[in-house]
A and B are shown apart, each in its own frame.
Chain A
Amino acid sequence: MVLRYIQPLRNILRIFSYENSPRQLALAIALGTMIGLLPKGNLIAVGLTILLFAVRVNLGAGLSVIFLVSCLSPYLDPLTHGLGVRVLSHPVLHRFLAQSYEFPIVPWTALNNSVVIGALLLGIALFYPIYHLSESLFRFLARRRAATRTATADPMGGRGA
């Protein structure tokens, strides 16, 4: 009876340990990096966080990366700010953003902030490399673990018969 009520809680906790395929882990790390780079308190950060929760990725890895990158991101501000200023100074992008700002919700994205737009672009640029590298790493680790497990399950290497 009690187990029925705590089942949802167990389900919530499971999402931190489930979805641990190399692809899901790599996606969580790439998304987490992107969110971590962004200053919080704007709609882009909120939207990406919702996305992280919505897609089938490893939440534990994602949230851990968000925390770590958030701690480091202020040190990257000179880079993101410089990038953001270049983008905001570009006539076409500037005009596009100015027109976008007339629409509701858009002002909440804080895309007029140099660090926000710079961090977003840096996150987008780093997304695939991080995803690719981490997926390769996790695949390598998965293979190694599978090999270790196989070795542990059959110590004679199938030569006993």
Chain B
Amino acid sequence: MIRWKYVVPRLLGIAAIVGFVCIALGPLTRLLLVFGGQAATGARVDVQHVEVDLLKSQVTVSGLQVADPNREHQNLFEADRIELDIDTQSAFRKKFVVHEGRLTGLHIQSGRTESGALTDAAGGDSGSVFSAAKDRSEQWIDSTVDMLEQDVWDELQTVQLSQELRQRWPLEYDRLRQRAKRIEVQGHQLKNAVERISERPLDNLQAIPPTLGRIDGLHAEIVDAEKELQRLSAQIELDQSAMIQAKQHDEVFLREKLHLNALDAESLNEYLLGPVWANRLRTTLAWVEYSRQITSASTSEEIPVDERGISVIFPGYHASPDFLIRRLLLEGGGTANGNPFAFSGEMKHLTHQSQRHDAPTSLHLEATGALRLTADVTLDRRHAVPQDRFLIDIPAMDQSEQILGNPQKIAMRIAPGSVSIRADLRAEGDELDGQIVIEQANLSIEPSLGAEYARYLTGDRLGRLREIDRFQARVFLVGSLRQPRWRLESNLGEQIAEAVNAAVRDELAARQQQWMDRGKQEADREIARIQDQFVRENRELLEALEIGDAQLDVLRQQLQVGIDSPQEIIGRGRQLLDMFQ
């Protein structure tokens, strides 16, 4: 006989436990997904609802949002619904194996209203390598503007020499004029002295010899002043030859000063396309890193160290991954330049323990609509060194109007068109290698210049850019995943660099000629002015000096004729004494 009093409570207890497990399994799985996902991505993971059906061995996840660890208000991806059919046989062997899964309503890089950053997450820097190239080109453009804007007037030797002449010559003339004035004054004084002596020779007998001496001194002064005039005449010729040398120096100086190394196409490519492609590459590399995170938990089959003790993997025991999704069908959509597109595909052999599995993780995606895309991704973690390959082919992607470069400086306005992109990227270990080819036919390009530039470079000078009708660019990626390096080649950069270089070269040559002409005019004007002034001043001074010299001769004669010699005066004096005696 069954002892119901004993059995019923235990049955009820077991039923309560089973009921609790059934009810709590969904929320528990949800918590597991949230915390496990957050630990794997380093960003917030939101799950709306999880339903676990033990009878059908099916797990259904609704409203999954995985935030982008690099962008606070953007999702890495979100999915409306995920259905996973669990392999019960594997579950008995403590393996979570999904036969087939369906992931619908998948949206990549969708926006989110709430921040996806975890409170304790540290922000990373991933853009330094790209900004360096942009800076290099911007520096070139800034230096061009600086060079075109610089004022070299005061640095020209012709100008400096002209200024010096303008200061020196008036001083010379002043000095000469003062000298002439002094000679004139002294001449007048001598004239007065001679007249005084002539009127009363006996009274001024003692003054005659010094007066004669003063006349000789003044004469010497006049001769010296004439020599000074001759020196100045020679100085003008010296200044003229110095001016010629200054002009030659200025030519060399301006050539060096207004010399700018040609903008290389690579720098310009980076300046124009860098900001656009840096973002795209950063996103691509973030996905590569993300794929690494979710597929590379353990890289070796050594004895795993548990929290308590060690768990041995028995030899011969068929090692298979603890978590495996054999096939996951993907279905979703998104927008490209505001236009919708849909995609579908499948992911195979997704596991975090690839070394226990015989096939690499693979993803095949096809998109239709505004974005036509075929993507094949292979993530092979079966060997010691992880090997990834990303093949992406976008035969045509609508692209809205693009402004390449900085509109405040130099920018290129690309009209809307269709772009094709082919990318082949390989990541072996941490090493990155690959290239991306971008092509755009029927290109319509319009150069746009900032206000600073427009003053010097007119649109006409860059007009030849409008003739570019095809755009092709290759982005070569090398380096490591953490520190990627890239090189950009494009026909656009080459042609734009050629046009910009020619325009800048022409403008600099024009500026150089302009400065040269101004310097020459200044020098010529100054020399002519000096010569005119010299001729005028020279004539006046010479006349004054000649007059002074002639007067001195008259004075000397007057003194010598009007006044007898001292012996005669003394003789006359004796005669007078004799008469008195």
Chain A interfacial positions (CB closer than 8 Å to B): 8, 11-12, 14-15, 39, 50, 53-54, 56, 74, 77, 80-81, 84-85, 88, 94, 97-98, 101-102, 104-105, 107-108, 110, 112-116, 118
* Residues of B317-374 whose CB lies within 8 A of A: 317-318
Pick from B5, B10, B92, B309: contact of A53, CB below 8 A: B10
Q: Which residue of B lies closest to A13 (CB)?
A: B9
> Which residues from chain B contact A8 at a C-beta distance below 8 Å?
8-9, 12
Please name 22 pairs of A and B residues whose Cβ atoms are closer than 8 Å in the assembled complex, sorted by A.
A8-B9, A11-B9, A12-B12, A53-B10, A56-B6, A77-B308, A85-B310, A88-B312, A98-B316, A98-B317, A101-B314, A105-B92, A107-B93, A107-B95, A108-B94, A110-B311, A112-B311, A112-B313, A113-B306, A113-B311, A114-B309, A118-B309
CA distance A104 to B93 in the complex (A): 5
> Which residues from chain B contact A101 at a C-beta distance below 8 Å?
314, 317
Is B123 close to A, CB under 8 A?
no
Chain B interfacial positions (CB closer than 8 Å to A): 5-6, 8-10, 12-14, 89, 92-95, 306, 308-318
Contact A11 B316 (CB under 8 A): no
Beyond A12-B12, A39-B308, A115-B306, 8 extra complex contacts between A and B, CB < 8 Å? A11-B9, A54-B10, A80-B309, A102-B318, A104-B93, A107-B93, A112-B311, A118-B309
Q: Which residue of B lies closest to A85 (CB)?
A: B310
CB distance from A116 to the nearest CB of B (A): 7
Q: Are A84 and B309 CB-contacts (below 8 A) given A14-B9, A53-B14, A56-B6?
A: yes
Q: How many contacting A-B pairs (Cβ < 8 A)?
A: 72
> Which residues from chain A contact B309 at a C-beta distance below 8 Å?
39, 77, 80-81, 84, 113-116, 118
Contact A102 B6 (CB under 8 A): no
Q: Which residue of A lies closest to B5 (CB)?
A: A11
Q: Are A104 and B317 CB-contacts (below 8 A) given A74-B308, A114-B309?
A: no
Contact A114 B310 (CB under 8 A): yes
Q: Are A104 and B314 CB-contacts (below 8 A) given A39-B308, A54-B10?
A: no
> Which residues from chain B contact A113 at a C-beta distance below 8 Å?
306, 308-312
The 4 closest A-B pairs by CB, nearest first: A115-B309, A98-B314, A104-B92, A114-B309
Contact A112 B312 (CB under 8 A): yes
CA distance A120 to B334 in the complex (A): 55
Q: Which residue of B lies closest to A84 (CB)?
A: B309
CA distance A110 to B312 in the complex (A): 10
CB distance from B438 to the nearest CB of A (A): 51
> Which residues from chain B contact A84 at a C-beta distance below 8 Å?
309
CA distance A80 to B5 in the complex (A): 40
> Which residues from chain A contact B9 at a C-beta distance below 8 Å?
8, 11-12, 14-15
CB distance from B107 to the nearest CB of A (A): 36
